[in-house]
Amino acid sequence: MRLAKFLASAGVASRRGAEQLIRTGRVTVGGARVTDPAATVSLDAGDRVALDGKPVTGSPTRVVYAVNKPPGVVSTARDPQGRHTVVSLVPGELRLYPVGRLDIDTTGLILLTNDGELAHRLTHPRFEVPKTYRATVAHPPVKDAALSALRGGVPLDDGVTAPARVRLLGPGTLELTIHEGRKRQVKRMCDHVGHPVRRLERVAFGPLRLGDLKSGAHRVLTAGELEALADATARASAGSEARRSETA
Ligand code: URA
């Protein structure tokens, strides 16, 4: 297993954070300093990993929280500007990592986990977990042409968006399901069709729904929900492999 992956799944840091720890020489394997983030460890062979001289043992119990992010809260684990972070909404000793990002003014479902490796996997483009947003937009009513454009893919400055599922819930309210996770994607898509977003809420992440979780509240995912999430990741990965080989 890659050393960075081992450290992330042991809850020591996010995958990127673990790579940085390795690069800066803080990690040893079997007593020898390792600075290559691509290094591997074989725990079966008895490799002992330490961070700053302290042994890092296997994974702690994995916990995943669903949080209803309020507006004005950032979705990074730490904020250099000292703003409220989504992680601070869940009190306790665990070091938690947000799964992906929501803009500061976007509300709704975000997952937090102590498993940095899981957080990495769930946001990796290869897994393309579908995310559903409810958007209140300017200049209603939204016409069929705009809906078709959103569904088919709109040209943004970082490329055309993949097909999206889009439903009109009211003259100025849309529900969009996208598989990509580009920055400000829903806002940019809606801007492109002439309907800037006024309010954005994420109502689903893969098979998980926001439901009636109150703003600022959190709950632990059940074993059944974790299983459903793992299934959705496996399905999304298989789907993206198939699409890749079709276009190869
Ligand atoms: N798309 C956006 O534009 N913003 C978000 O926060 C999430 C998706």
Output the average pLDDT for the chain. Answer: 91
Site to substitute for ligand 1 among 184, 202, 203, most atoms within 8 A of C-beta: 184
List every span in the chain annotated with CATH 3.30.70.1560: 130-205
The rounded Å distance from CA 200 to ligand 1 centre is 7
Global pTM reads 0.81
The rounded Å distance from CA 24 to ligand 1 centre is 33
> What residue owns the CA closest to ligand 1's atom 2?
184
Residue 123's pLDDT is 85
- List phi, psi (to 5°) of 65: -110, 145
CATH number assigned to the domain covering 64-125+209-247: 3.30.70.580
The residue among 8, 25, 200 whose CA lies nearest residue 110 is 200
Determine which one of 47, 103, 144, 158 is catalytic: 103
- List phi, psi (to 5°) of 191: -55, -45
The rounded Å distance from CA 171 to ligand 1 centre is 21
| CB 179, CB 118: distance < 8 Å | no
Active site residue 144: no
Better pLDDT: 70 or 243: 70
Which ranges of the chain does DSSP label H, i.e. alpha helix? 3-9, 15-23, 116-123, 144-152, 185-192, 223-247
Site to substitute for ligand 1 among 69, 74, 106, 175, most atoms within 8 A of C-beta: 106
Residue 207's pLDDT is 94
Better pLDDT: 238 or 146: 146
| CB 21, CB 13: distance < 8 Å | yes
Q: Please tell me whether residue 220 adopts helix, strand or coil conformation.
A: strand
Sign, CA torsion 74/77/80/85: positive
pLDDT tens sequence across 37-79: 889 987 766 788 999 999 888 666 789 999 999 999 999 888 8
pLDDT tens sequence across 153-190: 999 999 999 999 999 999 999 999 999 989 999 999 99
| CB 201, CB 184: distance < 8 Å | no
Pairing of the two strands 131-137 and 97-98? unpaired
| CB 177, CB 165: distance < 8 Å | yes
CATH 3.10.290.10 fits 3-55, yes or no: yes
The residue among 184, 177, 145 whose CA lies nearest residue 163 is 177
Site to substitute for ligand 1 among 73, 186, 202, 210, most atoms within 8 A of C-beta: 186
Q: What residues are in contact with ligand 1 under a 6 Å CB criterion?
A: 102-103, 106, 133, 184-187, 200
CATH T-level topology, domain 130-205? Alpha-Beta Plaits (3.30.70)
List every span in the chain annotated with CATH 3.30.70.580: 64-125+209-247
202 CA closest ligand 1 atom index: 7
Residue 41's pLDDT is 87
CA atoms of 51 and 27, how far apart (whole Å): 5
pLDDT tens sequence across 3-41: 998 888 888 888 889 999 999 999 999 899 999 988 998
Q: Fill in the amino acid letter for 97.
A: Y
pLDDT tens sequence across 83-135: 999 999 998 878 899 999 999 999 999 999 998 888 888 888 777 799 999 99
